[in-house]
Amino acid sequence: MRTHLLLGVALMLAACSPQGESKLQGYGEATYLYVAPQDGGVIASLNVKEGDRVEAGAVVATLDGARAAYQRDAAKAAAESARANVAEDGALAEAVRQAEANRDLAAKTLKRTEELVATKAASRAKLDADRAALQSAEAALAAAKAQRDAAARQLGAAEADLGLAERRLADLTLKAPAGGTIERIYRRGGEVVAAGAPVLALLAPENMKVRFFVPEAQLAAMTPGAEVSISCDGCRDGLTARITWVASEPEFTPPVIYSLEERAKLVFLVEAAPSDPTAIRPGLPVDVKLK
């Protein structure tokens, strides 16, 4: 807010000068990328220092992975055990085959008994017993198949747990999400960092922008894609930027009660992407002119 007020006052003073119609005041603004772990831990190594330039995907820090490795190993053992249970030569598959054989034998026995009963060679009690044996064999087969299917589902869960454990272990290696410059380091080697807490801040060139305020009278010329020239103390000549965003709502700088007489104090915030992002630094005052 203080920055907006100061820039607004400077804008109003500039408007009173012959150059006020074309020169606008602004500043460099950066959107930082904060590199943070998804799980907390102890920083085992820090591979960069402030000011270093890194490429996208470069390893910038690692967390101690001992505990995550134990969890991965436990998940791997559970997955291997579950995989063995559902293997074609495993105990559950053998139990299903044995239950199928018992069911087939019971069915054949019942068929022979039915033929013997038809010729009075077997009793009705024998027939009832064989029917009950077939029903029992079919129930045992269904139970064996259910146990096998449950083990298959457990295998899926165990493999998912293993995948998660491996992913969490890999995530302890922190990589640069984009190419850029290391601007700030918040944690050093040996320190404990919480999940989601940034270890460092990275500034990608494409995340550098220029923000400036435009009087209502000049707003029509400020359209996305329009090119503006920018200058600053110590910057090389010929810097340009393209407007990327124009605020839809105005601001009063300094705060006033709205009236037609005060329209000259209405300003709109505009953002532009510099053609050479490395030439502008965050917070650096700049002058902006519409080309």
CB-based contact 213:68 (threshold 8 Å): no
Q: What is the average pLDDT score of the chain?
A: 87
- pLDDT tens column, 85-121: 888 888 889 999 999 999 999 999 999 999 888 888 8
What's residue 219's pLDDT? Answer: 87
Backbone angles phi, psi at 137, to 5 degrees: -65, -40
Q: What percent of the chain has pLDDT over 90?
A: 63
Q: What is the DSSP letter of 30?
A: E
What's residue 253's pLDDT? Answer: 56
Strands (E), 38-158: 41-46, 53-54, 59-63
Residue 249 has pLDDT above 60, yes or no: yes
Residue 17 has pLDDT above 80, yes or no: no
- pLDDT tens column, 168-215: 999 999 999 999 999 999 999 999 999 999 999 999 999 999 999 998
What's residue 16's pLDDT? Answer: 44
